[in-house]
Amino acid sequence: MGNEMKLYDVTIIGGGPVGLFTAFYCGMREMETKIIEFLPYLGGKVSYFYPEKVIRDIGGIPAITGEKLIGQLAEQAQTFDPTIVLNQQVVGLERLKDGTFMLTSHNGEKHHTRTIILATGFGTLKSAKLDVDGAEKYEGRNLRYGVERLSDFKDKHVLISGGGNSAVDWANELLPIAKHVTVVHRRHEFSGIERNISNLRKSTATIMTPHVLDAVHGEEDRIERVSVKNIETNDTDIIEVDEVLVNHGFCIDLGPIKEWGLEFEFGNIKVDSKMQTNIKGIFAAGDVANYLNKLHLIAGGFSEGPTAVNSAKSYIEPKKELKPIYSTTHF
Q: Which residues bind ligand FAD (CB under 6 A)?
A: 13-19, 36-39, 44-46, 49-50, 55, 57, 89-90, 119-121, 123-125, 255, 257, 286-287, 296-299, 301
Q: What minimum distance in Å lies between the beta carbon of 290 and ligand FAD?
A: 12
Nearer to ligand FAD, 54 or 322 (CB): 54
Q: What minimum distance in Å lies between the beta carbon of 258 and ligand FAD?
A: 10
Q: Give me the sheet containing 223-230, strands edge to edge.
A: 211-218, 223-230, 236-240
Q: What minimum distance in Å lies between the beta carbon of 75 and ligand FAD?
A: 16
Nearer to ligand FAD, 115 or 124 (CB): 124
Q: What minimum distance in Å lies between the beta carbon of 186 and ligand FAD?
A: 22
Residues 250, 255, 258, 264, Cα dihedral to 10°: -20
Helix (H/G/I), strand (E/B), else coil: 106: coil
Check if the beta carbon of residue 60 is closer than 8 Å to that of residue 4.
no
CA distance 314 to 323: 10
Q: What does the buried/exposed string (b/e) look like for 163-179 if buried means 16 or more CB atoms within 10 Å of the residue's CB?
A: bebbbbbbbbbbbeebe
Nearer to ligand FAD, 7 or 193 (CB): 193
Nearer to ligand FAD, 167 or 226 (CB): 167
Question: Which of 32, 44, 40 lies closest to 111 in space, CA to CA?
Answer: 32
Q: What minimum distance in Å lies between the beta carbon of 285 and ligand FAD?
A: 7
Nearer to ligand FAD, 55 or 241 (CB): 55
Q: Give me the sheet containing 268-270, strands edge to edge.
A: 264-265, 268-270, 289-290
Nearer to ligand FAD, 26 or 55 (CB): 55
Nearer to ligand FAD, 126 or 217 (CB): 126
Nearer to ligand FAD, 128 or 299 (CB): 299
Q: What minimum distance in Å lies between the beta carbon of 188 and ligand FAD?
A: 25
Q: What minimum distance in Å lies between the beta carbon of 253 and ligand FAD?
A: 8
CA distance 167 to 293: 31
Q: What is the DSSP pairing of strand 33-36 with strand 83-85? A: parallel
Nearer to ligand FAD, 17 or 281 (CB): 17
Check if the beta carbon of residue 170 is closer than 8 Å to that of residue 192.
no
Helix (H/G/I), strand (E/B), else coil: 138: helix
DSSP characters over 194-263: HHHHHHHHHSS-EEETTEEEEEEEESSS-EEEEEEEETTT--EEEEE-SEEEE---EEEE-GGGGGS---
What's the distance, CA 6 to chain centroid?
Answer: 27
Q: What minimum distance in Å lies between the beta carbon of 115 and ligand FAD?
A: 16
Angle, vertex CA 103, rays to CA 3 and CA 95, nearest 5: 120
Q: What minimum distance in Å lies between the beta carbon of 100 and ligand FAD?
A: 19
Within a 13 Å sphere around the CA of 211, how many CA atoms are in the beta-carbon half? 23
